[in-house]
Amino acid sequence: MGVDYTALKKGGFMRQKQKNNFSLRLRVVGGQLTAKQLAKIAEVSEQYGEGYVHLTSRQSVEIPFIKLDEVDAVKKALAEGEVEPGVCGPRVRTITACQGAAVCPSGCIDTYTLAKELDDRYFARELPHKFKFGITGCQNNCLKAEENDVGIKGGIKVEWNEEKCIQCGVCVKACRGKAIKLEDNKITINQEACNFCGRCTKACPTDAYDETHGYIVSFGGLFGNTINTGKTIIPFIEDYNKLMKVCDAAIHFFEENANAGERFKFTIDRVGREQFEKVIEEAYKND
C-alpha cells in the first residue's frame, strides 16, 4: 500500500527534501505553550528528530526529520505531553496572537482568549485554500493583522467625561493622530482622526474617558507571492457576538464562492468587493 502523503500533510507532517523524512508542524494557539508541552517537544525532537525545532513565522513549532515509520510513535509520545499535531493544506491554520491586554500595557483586548475561541471554532476547517487569522492587541500591530485573511486588532472607543477631567492635557500629548484638542477647558475628539489606539485613556491620570473595548477587523490580507493589505469594512466592532458573526460570514463567503486553490483576497476580487462588503455589513447588523 502506498503512502498517503495528502493525509500526512493534513495532519501536519510536511515532506522534506530528504526521502521519507517529515517536518512535523505542531498545534500552537496564540503563540502559547506550557512548560510541560515544551519539555515533551524537546524530548520528541531528541528521540525522533535531530535534537532541534524550528519556530515558524506564524508562531508554530516544527520538529524536522521525523521518519515515516515513526509517525505513529511520535503522535503517541506528543499526546503524553498534551501536544497535538497542527495542520497544513486547504484549511484554517494556526491562530496567531500577541500577548495582548493580559500582559502588555498597550493591549486593548485579551488576545489569547480570543485566539483560543477562534481556534475552537475554526481550526482545521476544510476550505478551498488555506485561511489565516491573526490577532493583535493594539495599534502597535505587532502581529501585523492586515497580512492575514482575517486580521483582528484590539481598540478602545473613548468618550470624554467632563466631570472627571482636570484639563491637564496629557491625553492631547498622548494622541499620535492629533485627534484630541483641549480648548477653553474642554476636550474635543475628532472621530474621523481617531484610530481607537486607547493611548489617551491609558495616559489619563483621572480616568476621564469612558471606554468601550472592541475590534478592528480587516479582510483579504496576503503576504507571499502576492502582497496585499487587508481592508477594514466596519471601522469598530464593539460586541464580541457581532465579531463572531462577521468572522462566520467571512469564512462562509470564502467557502461558498472560492475556487479550489484560490486565496480569500482573489475570491473577493473576482466575486466583487461590493458584494462581499454587503455580506459583512448584513452579518454585523443582524441581531
pLDDT for position 287? 73
Average pLDDT value for residue range 90-103 = 97
Residue 236 CB partners (closer than 8 Å, separation 6+) = 155, 157, 196, 214, 215, 216
Residue 279 has pLDDT above 80, yes or no: yes
Cβ neighbours, 10 Å, residue 172: 17
pTM here is: 0.95
CA 58, 61, 63: angle at the middle one, nearest 5? 140
What type of residue is 133?
Answer: F
pLDDT for position 105? 96
pLDDT for position 286? 87
As given in the structure block, the three cell numbers for residue 188 are 474635543
Residue 1 has pLDDT above 70, yes or no: no
pLDDT for position 2? 78
DSSP state at residue 85? B
- Alpha-carbon span 48 to 97, nearest angstrom: 29
